């Protein structure tokens, strides 16, 4: 096939390109088997927790808020936060930078194309265009972001305001992650001080995702069911589309709350907590009318740091349930395994 975006040497086609071509149907490689297709009409009867983070700074309210966070972590591994300290203009600027980046010509974006998951900056589509059996309706740019001075020179230099706008947001989310970790470790009865340095020196990978309107949203997904590998993911979204699985494996749609940020527990928290908390399984659905952008800030402890269950949470009734792993182990796993087939966390669970 000819046309902008079809690159014959590696068959790379972005979904932005398909959208520009106004394809009336999704190409066959995006069509999921019927059992994996989404239910786009889930009811919103379940109210998902929304937590006012300003209450954490008030001694009289802190313990009640920690109880709410603990409940959300136990039941869902997910909550939304408001009054999180990141100003709305910073949020809008980050989304604007993302919009402008994906609107660039394909040629411009291709300079950052990579299918190597170990690269600190890479543009791509689906999960990994080079190896995916089924493709997902997503384009992305991912970049390491902390400490920002180590990485920002590798970020997109177009649009010209990208580094500034995304950088301001990245720095603010890094601060928020630390506050959230302090709260969550407290709910587990763990000492934040013991991990503070590793949290401060941890890895921050920002995944900026673009899900253009899709001609057949009932046949495909923007991302398949998965959990994130790290401690926490802080997700900013421009509209609805995220679904998560509750502890009965029932899918719930996450309502869109302007200015709120979504917090998702990742595999490192599940392991650290020795299974008291579970990482949340989530997927992304599409819309026939609207493009959706999201900025997922995936935090983890330093790339080579092996994380195992906290000794304080292990006893005779609660034996060690997971093997240790580092972010690097996860990257090695996804370079040779399809996470749509088998979750990473299942590969490190100890058999009982
Ligand atoms: C991710 C992710 C969700 C979204 O990047 O890991 O789950 O809404 N993103 O884009
Ligand atoms: Ni995710």
Ligand 2: distance of its center to the CA of 228 in Å?
Answer: 5
Cα–Cα nearest to 38, from 285, 223, 242: 285
pLDDT at 152: 98
pLDDT at 293: 98
**Pairwise CA distance, residues 175 & 273, whole Å:** 22
Residue 122 lies in a domain: yes
β-pairing, 121-125 with 261-265?
unpaired
Owning domain of residue 188? 33-347
Q: Which helix (H) or strand (E) holds 121?
A: strand 121-125
pLDDT at 41: 86
Residue 285 lies in a domain: yes
Identify the sign of the CA torsion 270, 134, 101, 327. Answer: positive
Q: Determine if ligand 1 sits within 6 Å of the CB of residue 294.
A: yes
CATH of the domain at 237: 2.60.120.330
Residue 175 lies in a domain: yes
pLDDT at 5: 44
Identify the segments of the chain with pLDDT beneath 50.
Answer: 1-9
Digit-coded pLDDT (tens) for 219-267: 999 999 999 999 999 999 999 999 999 989 999 999 999 999 999 999 9
Residue 294 lies in a domain: yes
Residue 24 lies in a domain: no
**Pairwise CA distance, residues 298 & 97, whole Å:** 19
pLDDT at 10: 55
Residue 341 lies in a domain: yes
pLDDT at 305: 97
Atom of ligand 1 nearest to the CA of 211: 10
Ligand 1: distance of its center to the CA of 315 in Å?
Answer: 35
Judge contact between 189 and 274, C-beta under 8 A. no
Rg (CA), the chain: 20
pLDDT at 342: 87
Q: Determine if ligand 1 sits within 6 Å of the CB of residue 284.
A: yes
Atom of ligand 1 nearest to the CA of 228: 6
Cα 53-249-135 angle, rounded to 5 deg:
95
Residue 1 lies in a domain: no
* Total domains present in the chain: 1
Q: Determine if ligand 1 sits within 6 Å of the CB of residue 13.
A: no
pLDDT at 4: 43
Digit-coded pLDDT (tens) for 169-188: 999 999 999 999 999 999 99
Residue 138 lies in a domain: yes
Q: Which residues contact 289 (CB under 8 A, 6 or more apart)?
A: 213
């Amino acid at each position: 096939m000819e046309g902008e975006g079809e690159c014959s040497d590696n068959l790379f086609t972005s979904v932005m390109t398909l959208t520009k071509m106004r394809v009336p149907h999704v190409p066959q490689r995006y069509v999921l088997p019927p059992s994996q297709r989404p239910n786009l009409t889930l009811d919103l009867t379940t109210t998902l927790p929304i937590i006012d983070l300003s209450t954490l700074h008030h001694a009289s309210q802190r313990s009640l808020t920690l109880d709410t966070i603990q409940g959300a972590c136990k039941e869902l591994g997910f909550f939304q936060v408001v009054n999180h300290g990141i100003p709305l203009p910073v949020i809008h600027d980050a989304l604007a930078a993302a919009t402008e980046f994906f609107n660039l010509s394909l040629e411009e974006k291709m300079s950052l194309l990579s299918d190597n998951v170990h690269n600190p900056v890479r543009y791509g589509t689906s999960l990994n265009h080079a190896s995916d059996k089924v493709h997902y309706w997503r384009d992305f740019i991912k970049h390491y972001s902390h400490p920002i001075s180590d990485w920002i020179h590798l970020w997109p230099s177009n649009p010209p305001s990208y580094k500034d706008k995304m950088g301001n947001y990245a720095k603010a989310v890094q601060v928020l992650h630390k506050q959230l970790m302090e709260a969550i470790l407290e709910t587990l009865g763990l000492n934040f001080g013991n991990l503070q340095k590793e949290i401060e020196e941890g890895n921050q990978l920002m995944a900026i995702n673009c899900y253009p309107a899709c001609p057949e949203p009932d046949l495909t997904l923007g991302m398949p069911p998965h959990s994130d590998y790290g401690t926490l993911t802080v997700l900013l979204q421009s509209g609805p589309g995220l679904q998560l699985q509750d502890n009965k494996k029932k899918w719930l749609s996450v309502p869109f709350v302007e200015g709120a940020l979504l917090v998702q527990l990742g595999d490192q928290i599940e392991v650290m907590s020795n299974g008291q908390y579970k990482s949340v399984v989530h997927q992304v659905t599409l819309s026939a009318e609207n493009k959706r952008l999201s900025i997922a800030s995936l935090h983890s402890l330093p790339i080579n740091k092996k994380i195992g269950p906290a000794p304080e949470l292990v006893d005779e009734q609660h034996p060690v349930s997971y093997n240790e792993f580092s972010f690097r182990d996860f990257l090695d796993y996804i370079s040779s395994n399809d996470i749509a087939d088998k979750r990473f966390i299942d590969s490190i669970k100890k058999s009982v």
